[in-house]
Every structure is written in C-alpha cells, then in structure tokens.
Structure 1
C-alpha cells in the first residue's frame, strides 16, 4: 500500500499529534461513497499509530451549508426551506433535531458499526462560538490575495459582485458584498441586495466564509495535516489547488497532505452516487449487510485513486469470500497490512472460516433457522472443527446472511425447501430416476459427503432415463420447486437423510 506508506514516511520524524480530517455536507442521506472517505482517514490514523506516531481523526459536518435543493425523498413543501442552513431545516422524523441531523446521525452510527473512531465537529457550533473569527479576520484583511489566488489558480474571473462571505439574513444564507470590518467590535458592514448597508457581528454565526476560504481556514484553525477528499476537488485548478494557494498566502500555512479518492459507482452505472438525488446505496444499509471488516476491505484493497463499483447482489457474496480467504491465508506483506487495517479495533470478528456463499445456502436449507444451520454445518466433516472453534462468529455472520437474503439477494440465489411435492408433475422416467436415487441414498454411509452424492447422481448419466441436465433439474424441482439451485451433491449431503429419501420417493 504505497500510498499509505508514503504518508507514514512523511511524518516519520514528527513529534506532534497528526490530525487527519474528513468531512461532508449533510445535505442528503449518506451513501457508500461517504464511507470511503472516513475509512481512508481511519486507515491513515491506524497506519500512523502502528508506526508509533500519534494521530487522531476528526470529521467535520458542514451543517452550516445552505439547503440548496430538495432531495428526492422529501416532499415539495420543503422548498420553503431553501437557503436555510442545514442545521435549521426541520427534520422529517421527530427523532432528529434538523434535516442535517437526520442525514448525519445514522451515518455516525454506521461509522461506529465498522469501528471508525472520529471526533465530530459541527460547523454551526464552530461559527457560533467564535472559533472561525481569526479566519474571517485574516480572509477579509487579505481579500485581494484570496481573490487573486482563486482567479489565477482556477483560471476564472470573479466579477465585482463576488464576496468572500455569506450573511445570515432572515434565517437564510445570502451572498452579500463586503464593505468593511471592525475587528475591535467584531462587526462587518455589507451591502444588501437593495443596495442598503447593514452591520452584523461575525463572532456569533451570522457570517460564514465562502467555501473556497472556509476549507483552508479550517486547515489552519484545526491544524489539519492529512485530508482525503473526492477526486472532483483534486482536478487541476480545482478547490484543493486554490485552497493550497490560499492556505499559503492568506493563512500562512502549508496545505495538508492530500489523499484524493475516486468515486464509488453502482456496478453498471457511469455516474457517481448522489445523496440529494437519492441514487446512492445508503451507508447504513451497507453496514447492515456487510461485516465491518469486509466494508473496510472493499474500500482499502485498492488504491484510493481507483474507482470502485458496488454490487449488492452476487458480487457481494464473492467479496466476503475473498476477504475470508485472505484472512485465513495471507499471501504476502501487503495482505498482512491490509488485514491489520480491516480488523484493527474490532472487538468481535464477524467473518468466519466458512465461505459466506456456503452459509447462504446452508442457512436457506435450514429454513433460515440459525440453530439448525449450525447443526447442518456441524454434521459436515469439512466444517465440524470450524463450528466448534468459531460458533459465535458464525452466528454473527449468519445475521448478515439473513439481512442480505431479505433485502438484496437476487432471486437466483434464493430458495426454500418446497412444502410439498405433486407426483403428477413428474414424468415416469423422472419418478423412476428419483426412486432409484432414493434407494442409493438409503444405502449410503452415514459420513457420505457432497462428492459421494455428486457421484451418485452422475451414475445415472448413462442410464437412458434422463439427459445429464435433467438429472439435476429434476432434483431441484422436487426439492425447491426450481430448475436450478445450489451445488446438487453438497446440497443433498446437508439435508436430513430420512426427509430426503422420503421426498425423492415423492412421499413427503
């Protein structure tokens, strides 16, 4: 993980605590893309601490941002709140104090579930407490340098109406032209839309810096050393480049070490997820369906510069299986480092040594009963020892299996044992095949495994009763009422023997 090692090497000789910052505007329900930022920040902190360097993660909620558009999951009546700070927009749910909290609080719960520790800072609190006063004063006293930095770095001209500040007027944030500042009285004079002049205090939240100044001002006041951010901010002449210049010429600091990351798209989508448009996979859904170590693994197995694609269906099963394989058999130092970052700080593992794909099938074969699933697994020579050693972990993982099957699993991977079977739906050849197979199974050794059952099925390939394909589709139809299903040999091996024999004889 060269990108991470480079950051650690940058601070190898530092004695101070390194501050890693993440942040987002709570303008809509947080999606899996937001998780990538905090997982990257968390990984940086863990890597620094592992190297003996003190580090801390802060997450800034930009809840003083204006409510700019009504998200798709809110009624049109919310248009009346446009322009208001997010922390003052009413919540659609009485459990939360504002729309900003409605979006943020579940995300913080998601962060906690995956073991990401971070101190949360609310922009509204910082501005209202006067924390941003030095940045406001510095920006306004060096307004020409700030304006030049934006124009020269971004390549766009700012007109005469551009202002470095926003003013709270009648509960809404407005871009207003700055006239003068009285640093002793902590007031500024500005010109309103009707050309009238007004004076307000800037130490109590009535004045907010333009975001191009707010971001580097935050670096200065908080002492940020490292910050991950989306690649849209990392374009040439973009907000990080202008922030870097403003940091140097307005705030007299060096910009933090940047960690730009690419977006997470749904598999098959070309556009990034959007919180306000409701096109994202909700962060709280992801942490409910995936064990915490796998969420981290998904985010960290590739460089932040690589675009990720999230699939809630088949690929999710493979993702968990890939992590389980790496956990059991790390191949190199890179795997060891990744495994540390994925599991450090988690008190209880949630991924067992039994493949997730196997648990998905076993759980359904046990009629979605956890205790019966454990019994089935314990009967398997391949997994009996693992069940004895990891039963608590398996039960935890089955919780993720259950939720995934209920919400995201494709129909092709879902099944349940048919409650009854109708003999008249099977041809004479199919009935004869099933009867003979039942007789074979009745004579099978108690320890017969999936391979034994697979060979028992294949023994009828040359019988002339059915085609090779029908040998399997007939079994699936009699057991689950479908033409396909889990690996047939293994599936038969985990079913209760007496029940299976009766079902194949079309008696149950």
Structure 2
C-alpha cells in the first residue's frame, strides 16, 4: 500500500491519537483554520474535518487548498549529520500526521532550506586543500571554492550531499537555496519591507546583544562589491527610494548597495524571520538551545508582516559523559557510525522517542533502539493481523514508516543476533545464516530481508564493541552446580524442544539452586558463558544456537576453557 493511500480515512483515529506528532498536527491544523478562515467558516471546516469529511471542507473553503509549508534548516558549512536527519525525520512525522488528520485533502510541502549564502567564518576540520579555502574566508558558501573539486562551490558540494543524504532515506522534500532566494528575487519584497522597518527590527534585536555588538549591529550584512565578502559592518545610511543601504567597505570607502538581488544577506535571526515571511512557512521545529532565537525571530517576523510558524523546541542529544554533542568537539555519534551498526529505521525510532527529553546518543543505545523498534513493528503487525479497528497510528512504527509500516519484521532480535555472533564466533554472515536456517527452516536472506540486514549490523557491532570488551569469569560454587543441573535438564529435553520449553528449564534450574531473584542467575549465565553482564532471553538463544552447542558451551565454561 502506498503512503498516500495509507493516510486516507484516518481522521477519526487521528483526532484522538495521543502520540506527539498528532498533538503537533492538531495544533497546526488549528493554526491553519484560524489564519485562513473566518470564525464561522472555521467552525464548519473543523466540524467537517472531525467527521472525516476533509475533502468536503476543502471543496467548501478553497483557502484550504493553499499548501501547508513545513521547513527544516541546514547550514552547509559542514556535511549533513544526525541532527539534520533528526530534524527532517521528526518534521516529516508531523507532516504525515497532519495528512492523516486531514485525510490528505489539504496539500503540504516540506522545504529543506540551505543557508548557503552565509559567509565562511572558519576553515572546517578534515577537508582537503584547507590553505586554498582560507583565501575565501567570509565569502558566501556558494562562492567559496570546493575543496573536493567536484562542484562549482563548497556550498554546492554540501548541498548535493544534503540532497543525496535525504534521498537515501526516502524523504519527500523540496530543496531551497538561500543564495537562489536572495539573488533570484524571491526575498526582494520582504527585504524592502525590512529596509522600511529597519528601526523596528533594531528595537527588537539590540537589547539581546552585548554593548560592543550593539554599537555596530545591523540586520543587513552587505556583500562587498570589491571582495565579495559578507561583511558584518554598521549600516550608515538607508535610501528607501533606491532600496539601498550605505556602508563602509573594507578599504574605508563608503559604498551603496541595493538590499535586493543578492546585494545583502540578513543576520541569521532576522534571516530566519525573512524566510518564514517570504516562504510563508507554517511549521518549523528547532533545538532547545534556540528558544531565545525563536522568540526574537518571531517578533521580527511580525514586523515584516508575516505570521510566525508553529513548532516546538526539542531537547538536545548528549554524549556518553552527558555532555552536549558538538560538531566542533566531534563527540557523540556520526550518521556513518549509526548506519554501520544499526538500521535507518532504528535511528528514526530513536528520534521519535520523547523528543522533549534529553537522550544519550552513543554506541550503546543502538542495540536497545533496534530491538525496541522491532518490538513495536511486531505489535503493529499483530494488531493489523487481528483485525484491530484500523491501524495503530500511535504505534512508533507507524510514524517511523510514514504511515505504511512493512508487514514483516525480524523473527530474531538484534540482541539475540549479537549473542549468537559472540557464542558462535560468527565472523561472517554465512556462518550466522547457518544457525538461522536451523532455527527457521526455509529462511533465506531473500525471505527475511530485515533479518539479513540486521546480521550485517550485528557482526559489525560485535567486532567493534562487544568482542574487545568481553570479560569471562569462572562460576562460583552455587553457579557451577546450577549450570551442571542445567546441562542435565537440556540433555533430557526432547528433540526439537522450542524456545519456551528451553526457557522453562532455565527457570527451574535457577529456582532449584536458590537464586532469588532469578535476575542473578541469568546474569551469571551471561557473564560466565558470553563474557558480558546482559544478554537475550536465554531460551531463545539456546534454541537458535542449538541445544547440543549450548551444552558444549556450558561444559567448556565449567572446565575453565572460556577464561583466558
């Protein structure tokens, strides 16, 4: 089923959905109705949409045919990163929820905006030809030479990487370049309004600045006709008739440039307000660190004659030491690192979870996020198979897959795969699949594509993180007796015993040995047999690894062969 078809007929469920994308979608719908319709029209339109008659509402009120504009921002001084993915993924979740809420009758657009007219203020680390790049400092990113030699400019190179990045995840978006908007005239009417209302903008911005900055601040950053640099200099004069400003160029001469046609760029907070106004943005979210910037930009937006967009501030990600993740510091995870160890779906799930709560973004969150995603997908598909009253649109899998989750997940958890790789020393996927086929007769990489992908991730994660940190220990007397008992119980199991029967014997061995609570028994199994303090459901592990192999593993541990 296509995403578009999957979103029809869901307005009744969407109206009562509790997940945060639907909460945001309802707030956005209220905003759209408030701005576009009169009081009487708004009540009728809201009633029709609530009754599942969004198409009728749109036919009755043509103002609703104007697309609802979602926006995300990108600074192309660096490559796309996890924050870029998170913002586009979360915004897309709200967009899809809005489409479901309105039965996809009100058009929507998602703009991925690149602030590529910003001046290059410092040389990014880890780029080639940095010495040459230094010659272009302070010039717009779409003028700065491309250090990689593949595009017309550094900005064009990173913009291409952004589009390839978003395309690779299947996002539906429209790329918009700041340079194109400034130079192509798209921003011209709003820039002239900003020139006319210069003093009102200054009144908003100056109190937010330090004393030294206030003395030279202007919302307009002129582009020097001589050097091509984006200059942070005071505006000396304004000429409304010519639509121009006067400033002192780097050589000391006073120069007049038009604010239109790419003659200037605005400071970033007024620039944010400029694009909201000129592009008529309805929704944009941002990080918690930008709360004050959003407040100021909202005020400037109103001065420019626009209406600030709806949205919310999400919490920031922290590294393993609970320090804020920083591109400059290079702490935390990169996109490439997550995608070496986890599926994109697991990353989207992690972004979905509690966006207003700070979360650690480090390697050890990947297995847990992966298994939680798999559990949610299984729950969604069980509800679908049982004929539940419509899809469970509050299930995270619904949001991760934009309203159309796949009908099949993985029959094996990621944590179980990790422990299978560990116990079997499965250095290749072929070895791993040998065990999987024994556990799931007839299974192939083609019939279980998600499981096949997870196998690659599990091997990579094991080799890089689990294997170097494995620490086996000898069992104590109590544990040794319980494991010997477990060996006897396993040998007595009938051929073909399933995971549940095996798990029951594990429980019984632990109880008979006096483990209370049983958590200590399972931890002992993991530490003695797998060299780690946590692991999967042991019955499932033994079922897929094989009873005979599990017995042999326990006997090797009892003989002291795993400690060394």
Structure 1 contact 324–351 (Cα < 8 Å) conserved: yes
* Secondary structure, counterpart of 1:58 in structure 2: strand
Structure 1 residues 338-357: aligned runs within 5 Å: 338-344=396-402, 351-357=409-415
Map 1:251-270 onto structure 2 (within 5 A). Answer: 251-270=304-323
Shift of 1:359: 2.3
- C-alpha distance in 1, partners of 2:115/2:410? 39
Relative to 1, partners in 2 of residues 1:70 and 1:9: Cα closer, same or farther, differing over 3 Å?
same
Deviations, residues 169-214 of structure 1 (Å, cap 9, x unaligned): 3132112333456677665432224542123354443421222321
CA distance 1:159–1:47, shift in 2 (3 Å): same
2:113 equivalent to 1:60: yes
- Partners of 1:241 and 1:265 in 2: how far apart? 24
**Partner of 1:109 in structure 2?**
164
The question of 1:210 aligning with 2:267 is answered: yes
**1:325 matched to 2:375:** yes
Comparing 184-193 and 283-292, the one that deviates more = 184-193
The 1:17/1:435 distance shift into structure 2, 3 A limit, reads: closer
Q: CA deviation at 1:226?
A: 0.9
Alpha-carbon shift at residue 318 of structure 1 (Å) = 1.5
**Secondary structure at the counterpart of residue 258 of structure 1:** coil
From 138, 150, 171, the equivalent of 2:205 is: 150
**Pair 1:377-2:436 in alignment:** yes
1:92-491 residue pairs with structure 2 within 5 A?
A: 92-151=147-206, 154=208, 159-169=214-224, 170-180=227-237, 188-235=245-292, 239-249=293-303, 251-271=304-324, 273-302=325-354, 304-313=355-364, 315-329=365-379, 336-344=394-402, 351-363=409-421, 367-380=426-439, 391-407=448-464, 411-412=468-469, 445-449=494-498, 452=502, 455=505, 491=541
Query: Residue 167 of structure 1 contacts residue 207 of structure 1 at CA under 8 Å; is this kept in 2?
Result: yes
Match of 1:18 in 2: 68
Residue 141 of structure 2: which of 64, 86, 89 is its match? 86
Q: What secondary structure is seen at the aligned counterpart in 2 of 1:172?
A: coil
Question: Cα–Cα, structure 1 residues 319 and 504, in superposed 2: closer, same or farther, change >3 Å?
Answer: closer
1:175 aligned counterpart, secondary structure: coil
Measured in 1, the distance between the counterparts of 2:345 and 2:492 equals 44
Give 3-state SS (helix, strand or coil) of 1:59's partner.
strand
Residue 165 of structure 1 and its aligned partner are, at CA, apart by 1.6
Q: Deviations over 1:449-471 (max 9, x none)?
A: 555499499979999xxxxx999
Q: Is the 8 A contact 2:96 2:403 kept in 1?
A: no
Cα displacement string for residues 267-302 of structure 1 (whole angstroms, at most 9, x for unaligned residues) = 43232x222332342234334533233222212221
Match of 2:122 in 1: 69
- After superposition, the Cα gap between the structure-2 partners of 1:320 and 1:71, relative to the gap in structure 1 and judged at 3 Å, is same
* Structure whose residues are more often strand by fraction: 1
The answer for unaligned runs of 5 or more in structure 1 is: 416-424, 426-432, 464-468
1:349 & 1:108 partners in 2: Cα distance?
Answer: 29
Instruction: Tell me by how many angstroms 1:227 deviates.
Output: 1.0
Q: 1:390 to 1:356 in 2, by over 3 A?
A: farther
Q: Following TM superposition, by how much is the alpha carbon of 1:58 offset from its aligned partner in structure 2, in angstroms? A: 0.3
- Please say which of residues 451-460 and 23-32 is displaced more in the overlay: 451-460
User: Secondary structure of 1:88's partner?
Assistant: coil
Q: Distance in 2 between matches of 1:490 and 1:360?
A: 13
Equivalence for 2:85:
35
**Structure 1 residue aligned with 2:16:** none
TM-score by length of 1: 0.77
SS of the equivalent of 2:222 reads: strand
CA change 1:476–1:301 in 2 (3 A) is closer
Residue by residue over 1:202-255, the C-alpha shift from the partner in whole angstroms, topping out at 9 and shown as x without a partner, is 4443421222321111111111111111222213xxx22222222222x21211
| Residue 456 to residue 215, structure 1, CA distance change in 2 (3 Å) | closer
Q: Per the alignment, do residues 307 and 470 of structure 1 end up closer, same or farther by CA in structure 2, a change over 3 Å counting?
A: closer
- 2:342, 2:532 → 1: CA distance? 29
2: CA distance, partners of 1:284 / 1:8: 36
Report the secondary structure of 1:85's partner residue: coil
Contact 1:182 1:188 in 2 (8 A): yes
List per-residue Cα deviations over 1:452-494 (Å, max 9, x = no partner): 499499979999xxxxx999999998x88x5888566655543
Question: CA separation of 1:82/1:498 partners in 2, compared to 1, >3 Å: closer, same or farther?
Answer: same
- Aligned residues of 1:24 and 1:61 also touching (Cα < 8 A): yes
Aligned-partner SS, 1:11: helix
d(CA) in 1 for partners of 2:332, 2:156: 19
- Maintained 8 Å contact 1:32/1:280: no
Range 186-195 or range 452-461, more displaced: 452-461
Q: Distance in 2 between matches of 1:231 and 1:505?
A: 54
Distance in structure 1 (CA, Å) of the matches to 2:245 and 2:143? 23
What residue number does 1:428 align with? none
Structure 2 CA distance, aligned partners of 1:410 and 1:5?
48
SS class of match (1:401) = helix
SS in 2 for 1:20: strand
SS of the residue corresponding to residue 144 of structure 1 reads helix
Return 5+ residue gaps in structure 2 as ranges. 1-19, 34-44, 46-63, 384-388, 475-481, 514-519
Q: 1:392–1:475: structure 2 CA closer, same or farther, 3 Å change rule?
A: closer
Structure 1 pair 411/491, CA: closer, same or farther in 2 (3 Å)? farther
CA drift at 1:401: 2.9
